[in-house]
Amino acid sequence: MPASDVLERFLRYVQVDSPSDPDHLDQTPSTACQHDMARLLADELAELGCADARADEHAYAVGTLPASPGSEAAPALVLCAHIDSSPDAPAHGVRPHVVHYEGGPLVAGVVDGEVVQTTAEQVPDLELFKGQDIVCSDGSTLLSADDKAGVAEIMALLARLAANPSLPHPRIVAAFVPDEEIGHGAALLDVESLDACGGYTVDGGALGELNYECFSACEATVTVHGVMVHPGSAKDVMVNAITVASEFQQMVPAAERPEHTAGREGFYHPTDISGTASDVTLTYILRDFDAADFDRREQTLRSIAAFLNERYGEGTVTVDVRQQYRNMAEKFGPADQRLIDNALAATREVGLEPVAVPARGGTDGAQLTFRGLPCPNLATGGYNAHSVREFVPVPSLELMVDLLERLVAKFAAAPAEA
């Protein structure tokens, strides 16, 4: 297959600042800079022949590439990626560079005299990439391969199809969405207007992986209200919110923290703490694949709060839960099997052995699936997401464009004709 422009696009996209901000959940996008990325993509979609290319007031960039000749009757296929970078690591001023990897530690850069590197012990797949070019940041920021690798791969596919109109494909709706990293993502995407049979998010990890099940997720805010008096006369009166918050955390099952779980095991993850002896706020994210176990986790936090309220007084501890997304496997049915089968087949056709992996995280696909647009999640080839050690091999970027070409060709015929 001909080489694509995926590397050029990826290097350019990661240099456009677009981190999301969990402190601004009340607005979409959560950061104004995401508009820059959305407008850039809308302009490029228009240049590729997407007559409806647009970026809206919420930084959603959407465009439809017409079907190849003879495939006009096939339902549209959505390809989705997110434009925001994670707020979990520095994300402004990304400076990507290409390292020719010859083995040993993969060095991204040196920051304040410290070498920022990835070893084969940390990422066993690293040894597979000897002799390859690998894109890293300079070590001071993340790379934003999550998910600008997915953005670049989709855009490079569209560029290839636009340059070679005879390559078979249905109408393809490219949808680039903001704020996925803070749980918003595709929430405002007008699914009904897309008139699509389904789609794929391109937001995964190692090549060959396919996700059609994921965590169910919520965020729990635990608020502790203390009783403050002068410490010199505090006996039998003071309730120190810091002390109560510490007790709360100690009662959360220690063996069910992220650092002790894998596979289909869920977890409780404290992400933030703030406050004083008067008031403390703890934030947790809860994750599980099983619906009953997911509900049990929420109830565990409420039971801990009830126990502490009995000890310290009603209203001392409150728990507020915000639902984020559900396991997409709950909504996949027999009619959606074509999406999975075609992805597995396309993966094999480019020489990879497909592996169905339950995603220990969420994608826009979970949200879209629950809104009636089934969307399994494809790999991007990236590693160490949300980290200054993030990297993606250049051949992996290229191979994903080839995989996407094979995949969309399978939807060029209407399902009844396939």
Tell me the pLDDT tens digit for each residue of 301-317.
999 999 999 999 999 99
pLDDT at 417: 46
Q: Is 231 exposed, middle or buried (0-12, 13-18, 19+ CB in 10 A)?
A: exposed
Q: How far apart are CA 122 and CA 413, in angstroms?
A: 43
Task: Report the pLDDT value the prediction gives residue 332, as an integer from 0 to 100.
Answer: 87
What does the block give as tokens for 216? Answer: 């169910």
For residue 213, give every residue at least 6 positions away whose Cβ sits within 8 Å of its Cβ, in sequence order, or none. 289, 327, 328, 329, 332, 358, 359
Q: Which two tokens stand for residue 67?
A: 């079907």
Cα 192 from chain centroid (whole Å): 23
Among the listed residues 224, 222, 230, 229, the one whose alpha carbon sits nearest the alpha carbon of residue 243: 224
Structure tokens given for 417 = 């004709």
Element (H, E) at 295: helix 291-312
Comparing CA positions, the residue from 277, 280, 279, 275 lying closest to residue 231 is: 277
Chain centroid to CA 126: how far? 22
Q: Which neighbouring-strand residues pair with 220?
A: 284, 321
**Helix (H, G, I), strand (E, B), or coil: what is residue 124?**
helix
- pLDDT score at 1: 61
Q: Alpha carbon of 41 to those of 81, 282, 351: distances in Å?
A: 12, 38, 30
Residue for token pair 């078979």: 168
DSSP states along 265-286:
--EEEEEEEEE-SSEEEEEEEE
pLDDT tens-digit map of 183-221:
889 999 989 888 898 999 999 999 999 999 999 999 999
Low-confidence ranges of the chain (pLDDT < 70): 1-2, 414-418
Q: Which of 184, 136, 151, 120 is nearest to 362 (CA)?
A: 184
How far apart, in whole angstroms, are the C-alpha atoms of residue 198 and residue 210? Answer: 15
Rounded to whole angstroms, the Cα distance separating 383 from 204 reads: 9
- Answer whether 223's CB lies under 8 Å from 308's CB: no
Q: Peptide bond before 75: cis, by omega within 30 degrees of 0?
A: no
Catalytic site residue 84? yes
From the list 44, 84, 213, 288, the catalytic residue is: 84
- pLDDT the model gives residue 388: 97
Is 8 an active-site residue?
no
CB 184 within 8 A of CB 82: no
List the structure tokens of 25: 């959940």
The partner residues of 201 in beta bridges, in order of sequence, read 80, 377
Retrieve residue 397's tokens.
């970027």
CB 350 within 8 A of CB 399: yes
Catalytic residue among 21, 146, 147, 180: 180
Select from 72, 372, 377, 406 the least CA-distant residue to 197. 372
Q: What is the pLDDT of residue 15?
A: 98
Q: By C-alpha distance, which of 176, 118, 126 is closest to 147? A: 176
Measured distance CA(78)–CA(72) in Å, rounded: 15
pLDDT at 28: 96
By C-alpha distance, which of 202, 174, 204, 211 is closest to 189?
A: 174
